[in-house]
Structure 1
C-alpha cells in the first residue's frame, strides 16, 4: 500500500447525490455521473472522479447518509442545470492508493491511523474522499484521501 501526503486544490465539481445506506447505491450514483460525463465528453485519461461520503454511518441513521459521486470540472465549464454543482475545499490529505476491494479498504483503515499519529497529524473536519484519476476506476484501484492537520 502506497501512502503519501498531498495538498489538494479547491475543486469545482459536478455531482450526483445518493441518500440512503452506503453500499451498492453508491456505485449506481457513480454510474449515473459517468453517463452524464460521457454525454458531455468529460471522461478522459486526466479526469478526476471523487466519491464523497458526507456522513458518518456510526452517528447518522443509514437512511439519511449522503454520498456524492463527483467529477472535477474546470472553472470555464459552463453552468449546467442538468446536474448539481459545488466545490470541495482543498487542503492537506493523506493519500493511500489501494486495490478497490473490501479487504484492501479495511487494511488501509488499519494502517492510515497509525500513519497519521506517527506523522504528527490528526484528521481534519472535512469529508474523506475516494479519488479515481483516469482509468483507476476501471482497473479497480482508488485513492483514499483523508483530510489532516498537524497535531
Structure 2
C-alpha cells in the first residue's frame, strides 16, 4: 500500500483519490504468506496516462458499508468480529470480495470503510 500511494502521488492522482484494498483469498482457507491482496485506484479512464497499468472492472453489487477508525488495530478487530456483525445486522452476504475503501477525505479524518457485498 505504501509504495502504491507513492506511485499515485508521483502520477499526481492522489488529491481526492479513492483507494481500494481487495482481499482475493480467505485467510481461513489460505496460509497468510499465500494470501493475495489487490490495491486499486478509482480513476476515470481519461486520466490514465500509463497503459501498462493493470485494470479491472468491479461488478456492480450492493454493499453494506462500515465506517471504522483507520488504524491497523480497528481494521483487525472489525475482521475478527465480522461474522458476529453479519449475524447482528442479518446480512445476506454474497460470495464476492470484501473491499476496504480509503477515501482521502475520510482518511484525513482518521476513518476508512469496509464494504461487505450483500443481496
Decide: shared fold, TM above 0.5: yes
Quick one: structure 1 residues 65 and 108, their matched pair in 2 at CA, closer, same or farther if it must change by over 3 Å? closer
Q: Give the match for residue 92 of structure 1.
A: 62
Give 1:102 deviation, angstroms.
Answer: 4.2
Q: Give the match for residue 35 of structure 1.
A: 6
Distance 1:103 1:63 in 2: 20
Quick one: structure 1 residues 118 and 63, their matched pair in 2 at CA, closer, same or farther if it must change by over 3 Å? closer
1:84-132 Cα shifts (integer Å, max 9, x gaps): 2212222111111111234423543466545544554221111111101
**Correspondence 1:53 to 2:43:** no
State which of 69, 72, 78 in structure 2 corresponds to 1:108: 78
For the 8 Å contact 1:96–1:108, the answer to whether it is kept is no
More strand by percentage: 1
Distance 2:78 2:102 in 1: 16
Give 1:64 deviation, angstroms.
Answer: 1.9
Unaligned runs of 5+ in 1: 1-29
More helix by percentage: 2
1:45-85 Cα shifts (integer Å, max 9, x gaps): 2x111111110111113232111111111132346244322
Select between 71-80 and 112-121 the one with higher mean Cα deviation: 112-121
1:13-54 Cα shifts (integer Å, max 9, x gaps): xxxxxxxxxxxxxxxxx1221122112211112x11111111
For the residue of structure 2 that corresponds to 1:127, the secondary structure is coil
Unaligned runs of 5+ in 2: none
- TM-score (normalised: structure 1): 0.65
Kindly report the root-mean-square deviation, in angstroms, between the aligned alpha carbons of the 2 structures: 2.4
Q: Give the match for residue 25 of structure 1.
A: none
Q: Give the match for residue 133 of structure 1.
A: 103
Q: Following TM superposition, where does structure 1 have runs of at least 4 consecutive aligned residues deviating by more than 3 angstroms?
A: 106-120, 135-140
